[in-house]
C-alpha cells in the first residue's frame, strides 16, 4: 500500500530542509509527521506510542541543533521513528523492521544521523558523554551532544553511573529526560514518584517561572543574549541551591519541567540551552501515544500493538482456522501462579517486562510476591539472590538478550554462592523484527560455562511446566536456567499435571537407524518435522531431545555415540560454545569419533526480519534440517557402497 506523507513532510529530505521552514510552519510539520507514523505503523507494524510522544521534541531538536554535527543519541531507540523520517528515510520508512529493510532502532551503518546503535535501554548518557569528551579533547567546543532518555530508561543503574560522571566533566552534554510516566508498563519506583513530585510541586514551578523571568524569556519572550545568560546562571544557582533537586545534586544543571508538546516553547528552550555549555538536564513532560486517542488511553497495549485499523482502532489478531497453542509466555504466567499457590516460598521478579513475559498475572493476583523492579536487570538478579539467601524460591524472568547486562551478578551473586534462583530466559533464540540487539543468541554459551548452573530448555508447553515444577522443588539447590522462545508453543492443550524431570535427563523421542539428531529446546520441533519430511525417502534418523545442556545426559550420549557415527545437533543459540559444542566436548572427553554437523546460529551478527525469514536464512528450519539429513544419509550410503 502506498502511503503518502503530507506536503510539508514531503519537502523535508533532511534536517537542512526543516531548518528552512518558518517557525509558524512547525506545528503543521508535527501534524504530518504524527499522521505519517500512524499511517505506516498501522499497516506495517512496529513500536507506536513512544514515537508519537516525541514528535514535537524530534522536530524541535532537528530544527534547533546542527545535526549530525551536533549528536543526538536516542535511548532504546524505539521512539526514533520521527527522527528516521526527518533524516532521509521517509520514503523507505515502510520497510521499517522488515527483512533487509530499515532497522527499528537507530543504527550507525544506516545513517550519519544515527550516532549510536541502540535497542537496549539506558546507554544514551554514557554514549553522549563519551562523544562530548572526545569533542572536548579535539577542541570542538561548539558541539552539542544530546541524550534523549525516557523516565523508564532513567531507572537503570547505567543512567545513574553516567550522570554521576557527567556532572564532573565539563563537557557539552544535554540530557533530555522524556518523562511520560510510562515504561512499557507503568513506570515503577521512587524515581517515578520523585519526577511526579517535581512536576506538580508549587516550589519547583515557581522556581522554573522565576528562571525564565530572569532570562527575559517569559512572559515577554525577548531574544536570549550573553548578558542574560550570566544573569540566568546566577539566578539559577541562587534558586536551586537550598532545594534538593536530585539532578542538581549530581551537578547537572536542571531545567524544566516543560510541556513536550508545545513546539514553540520547546524550540525556545532548546535554543537557550544550546548556548549554555557544560552538563545539563532538561525535563520534558510528554504523553505516550500523543495524538492517537486509544494509544494515549491504553499505553501498554499500544507500545507495540501490531497491525491495526487506524480508523476503528481494532488491533488485528492473526486469523487461524484451528485453535492455536498458547504462548510460552502465558504458560509461564499461569504456571507460576499455580506453583505459587502450593509453594509459599515462591516469589517472582521481572525487570520492566511484566506484560511481555506475562508475570503481570501473578503481580495482579499476588502483589506481595511478584515484582516489577524497573529496567534494572543487574538489580533483579542480585535481588533474587538476596531473596534466595532467605529461603525463597525466586523465579527471575528476564529476556535472554537483557540478561547479558547482568552477567557479573549471575556469576558473582548467584553461581559462586550456589543460590537456587530460577532464571526464566524469555525470548531465547532469534526474536525477529527487533533484530540483532534483541536476539537471544548467546545464553546457552554464556550460561553453560558457569559452574553450578543447571541449563534447560523445553520443547513444548508441557515440558516448560515440568521444568518449572522441577526447578522449584526443595531438592534443587542450584541456580536453574529455563530458556524458551517468544510465541506459540506446540500443543493446543497444556493444562497437564506437572511432573518432576530428573536433572540432566533427556528424552528419546524416536529411535532410528541412520543418523542421530540431538536437539535442545524448541527447535527440536523443526527437527521432528524434518524427520517426517525425509520419511518417504526411507531415511530414518533417531531423535533425542536433550532437555539439559548442563548437566548433559551422559548415559543417553553414551548410547548415541556407541550406536551412531553421524550426528546432527540442533539449537537456536550461537554455535560458538553452545549446545553443539557441549556435544563435541563430550565426544572428545570420551574418545568417541563421529561426524557431527552443528546446526545453530552462526558466528555473525544476524539482522532483523521475521523469525521465519531469519531461521530459513541461517538454516534452522525443517526444510534445511531435512537437507542436512539427506546429505548425511548420502555420505553414509556412499560409504556402505564403497565397503561392499
Ligand atoms: C536493558 C533493557 N531492558 C528492557 C528493555 C525493554 N524495553 C524497551 S522500551 C522499554 C520502556 C522504556 O521506557 P521509557 O524509557 O520511559 O521510554 P518510553 O517507551 O516510555 O518512551 C523497555 C522496558 C530494553 N530495551 N532494554
pLDDT < 50 stretches in the chain: 218-227, 234-235, 237-242
Q: How many CB atoms lie within 10 A of CB 640?
A: 9
Task: Give the C-alpha separation, 354 to 83, whole Å.
Answer: 28
Ligand 1 mutation pick, 175, 375, 404, max ligand atoms within 8 A of CB = 375
Residue among 618, 429, 467, 442 nearest 546 (CA) = 467
Q: What is the pLDDT of residue 323?
A: 64
Task: Give the C-alpha separation, 480 to 467, whole Å.
Answer: 9
User: Which residue owns the Cα nearest ligand 1 atom 17?
Assistant: 150
Distance, CA 409 to ligand 1 centroid (Å)?
Answer: 21
Query: Given the CA of residue 402, which atom of ligand 1 is nearest to it?
Result: 1
pLDDT in tens, 413-439: 999 999 999 999 999 999 999 999 999
SS (H, E, C) 330-350: HHHHHHHHHHHHHCCCEEEEE
pLDDT in tens, 263-295: 999 999 999 999 999 999 999 999 999 999 999
Q: What is the pLDDT of residue 325?
A: 76
Q: What is the pLDDT of residue 488?
A: 84
Q: Is 535 exposed, middle or buried (0-12, 13-18, 19+ CB in 10 A)?
A: exposed
Contact criterion met (CB below 8 Å) for 424 and 395: yes
Query: Hey, what's the cell of 628?
Result: 542436512
**Helix (H), strand (E) at residue 579:** helix 579-589
Q: What is the pLDDT of residue 115?
A: 98
Distance, CA 437 to ligand 1 centroid (Å)?
Answer: 13
pTM: 0.94
Task: Give the C-alpha separation, 444 to 356, whole Å.
Answer: 21
List Cα–Cα distances, 406 to 104, 399, 427, 447, in angstroms: 24, 11, 16, 12
Query: Given the CA of residue 121, which atom of ligand 1 is nearest to it?
Result: 26
Helices within 276-429 (DSSP H only): 293-297, 328-342, 354-357, 360-365, 377-389, 400-403, 407-408
Task: Give the C-alpha separation, 206 to 235, whole Å.
Answer: 13
Task: Give the C-alpha separation, 450 to 415, whole Å.
Answer: 7
DSSP 175: E
Query: Hey, what's the cell of 501?
Result: 524431570
Put residue 205 in one of left, alpha, beta given phi > 0 → left and psi -120 to 50 → alpha.
Answer: alpha
Task: Give the C-alpha separation, 316 to 43, whole Å.
Answer: 10
Dihedral sign for Cα atoms in the order 448, 450, 452, 453: negative
Residue among 139, 151, 162, 157 nearest 193 (CA) = 151
Contact criterion met (CB below 8 Å) for 128 and 280: no
Ligand 1 mutation pick, 352, 407, 435, max ligand atoms within 8 A of CB = 352
Catalytically annotated residues? 288, 377, 405
Task: Give the C-alpha separation, 442 to 575, whole Å.
Answer: 9
Q: What is the pLDDT of residue 222?
A: 37
75 contacts: CB under 8 Å, gap ≥ 6: 118, 121, 122, 123, 124, 125, 147, 148, 149, 150, 153
> Who lines ligand 1 at CB under 6 A?
50, 53, 76, 78-79, 120-121, 150-153, 178, 180, 182-184, 288, 352, 375, 377, 402, 405
Contact criterion met (CB below 8 Å) for 482 and 395: no
Query: Hey, what's the cell of 261?
Result: 508538546
Amino acid at each position: 500500500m502506498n502511503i503518502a506523507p503530507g506536503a510539508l513532510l514531503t519537502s523535508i529530505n533532511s534536517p537542512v530542509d526543516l531548518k528552512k521552514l518558518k517557525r509558524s510552519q512547525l506545528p503543521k510539520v508535527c501534524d504530518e509527521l504524527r499522521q505519517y507514523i500512524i499511517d505506516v505503523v498501522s499497516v506495517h507494524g512496529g513500536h507506536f506510542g513512544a514515537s508519537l510522544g516525541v514528535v514535537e521534541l524530534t522536530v524541535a531538536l532537528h530544527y534547533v541543533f546542527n545535526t549530525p554535527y551536533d549528536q543526538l543519541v536516542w535511548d532504546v531507540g524505539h521512539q526514533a521513528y520521527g527522527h528516521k523520517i526527518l533524516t532521509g528515510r521517509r520514503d523507505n520508512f515502510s520497510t521499517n523492521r522488515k527483512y533487509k529493510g530499515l532497522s527499528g532502532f537507530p543504527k550507525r551503518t544506516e545513517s550519519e544521523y544515527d550516532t549510536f546503535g541502540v535497542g537496549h535501554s539506558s546507554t544514551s548518557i554514557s554514549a553522549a558523554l563519551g562523544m562530548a569528551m572526545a569533542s572536548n579533547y579535539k577542541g570542538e567546543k561548539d558541539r552539542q551532544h544530546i541524550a534523549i532518555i525516557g523516565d523508564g530508561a532513567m531507572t537503570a543503574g547505567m543512567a545513574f553511573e553516567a550522570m554521576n560522571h557527567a556532572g564532573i566533566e565539563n563537557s557539552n552534554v544535554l540530557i533530555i529526560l522524556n518523562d511520560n510516566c510510562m515504561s512499557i508498563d507503568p513506570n515503577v519506583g521512587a524515581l517515578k514518584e520523585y519526577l511526579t513530585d517535581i512536576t506538580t510541586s508549587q516550589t519547583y514551578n515557581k522556581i522554573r517561572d522565576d528562571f525564565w523571568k530572569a532570562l527575559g524569556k517569559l512572559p515577554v519572550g525577548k531574544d536570549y543574549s550573553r548578558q542574560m545568560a550570566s544573569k540566568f546562571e546566577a539566578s539559577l544557582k541562587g534558586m536551586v541551591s537550598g532545594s534538593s533537586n536530585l539532578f542538581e545534586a549530581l551537578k547537572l544543571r536542571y531545567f524544566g519541567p516543560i510541556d513536550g508538546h508545545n513546539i514553540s516553547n520547546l524550540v525556545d528552550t532548546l535554543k537557550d540551552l544550546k548556548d549554555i555549555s557544560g552538563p545539563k538536564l532538561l525535563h520534558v513532560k510528554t504523553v505516550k501515544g500523543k495524538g492517537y486517542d486509544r494509544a494515549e488511553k491504553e499505553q501498554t497495549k499500544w507500545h507495540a500493538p501490531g497491525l491495526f485499523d487506524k480508523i476503528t482502532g481494532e488491533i488485528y489478531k492473526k486469523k487461524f482456522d484451528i485453535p492455536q497453542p498458547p504462548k510460552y509466555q502465558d504458560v509461564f504466567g499461569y504456571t507460576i501462579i499455580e506453583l505459587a499457590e502450593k509453594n509459599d516460598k515462591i516469589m517472582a521478579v521481572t525487570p520492566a517486562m511484566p506484560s511481555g513475559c506475562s508475570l503481570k498475572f501473578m503481580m495482579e493476583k499476588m502483589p506481595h510476591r511478584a515484582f516489577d523492579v524497573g529496567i534494572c536487570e543487574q538489580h533483579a538478579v542480585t535481588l533474587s539472590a538476596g531473596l534466595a539467601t532467605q529461603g525463597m524460591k525466586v523465579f527471575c524472568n528476564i529476556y535472554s538478550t537483557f540478561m547479558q547486562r547482568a552477567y557479573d551478578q549471575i556469576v558473582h551473586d548467584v553461581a559462586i554462592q550456589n543460590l537456587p534462583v530460577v532464571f526464566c530466559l524469555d525470548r531465547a533464540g532469534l526474536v525477529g523484527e527487533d533484530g540483532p540487539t534483541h536476539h537471544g543468541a548467546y545464553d546457552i554459551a554464556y550460561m553453560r560455562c558457569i559452574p553450578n548452573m543447571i541449563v534447560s530448555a523445553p520443547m513444548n508447553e508441557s515440558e516448560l511446566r515440568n521444568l518449572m515444577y522441577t526447578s522449584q522443588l526443595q531438592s534443587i539447590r542450584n541456580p536453574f536456567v529455563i530458556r524458551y522462545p517468544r510465541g506459540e508453543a506446540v500443543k493446543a492443550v497444556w493444562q497437564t499435571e506437572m511432573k518432576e524431570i530428573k536433572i540432566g535427563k533427556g528424552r528419546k523421542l524416536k529411535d532410528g537407524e541412520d543418523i542421530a539428531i540431538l536437539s535442545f529446546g524448541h527447535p527440536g520441533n523443526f527437527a521432528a518435522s524434518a524427520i517426517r519430511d525425509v520419511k518417504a525417502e526411507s531415511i530414518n534418523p533417531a531423535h533425542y531431545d536433550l532437555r539439559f545442556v548442563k548437566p548433559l545426559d551422559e548415559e543417553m550420549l553414551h548410547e548415541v555415540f556407541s550406536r551412531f557415527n553421524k550426528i546432527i545437533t540442533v539449537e537456536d543459540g550461537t554455535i560458538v560454545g553452545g549446545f553443539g559444542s557441549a556435544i563435541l566436548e563430550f565426544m572428545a572427553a570420551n574418545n568417541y569419533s563421529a561426524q557431527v554437523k552443528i546446526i545453530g546460529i552462526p558466528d555473525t551478527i544476524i539482522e532483523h526480519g521475521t523469525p521465519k525469514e531469519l531461521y530459513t536464512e541461517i538454516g534452522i528450519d525443517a526444510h534445511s534440517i531435512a537437507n542436512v539429513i539427506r546429505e548425511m544419509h548420502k555420505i553414509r550410503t556412499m560409504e556402505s557402497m564403497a565397503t561392499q
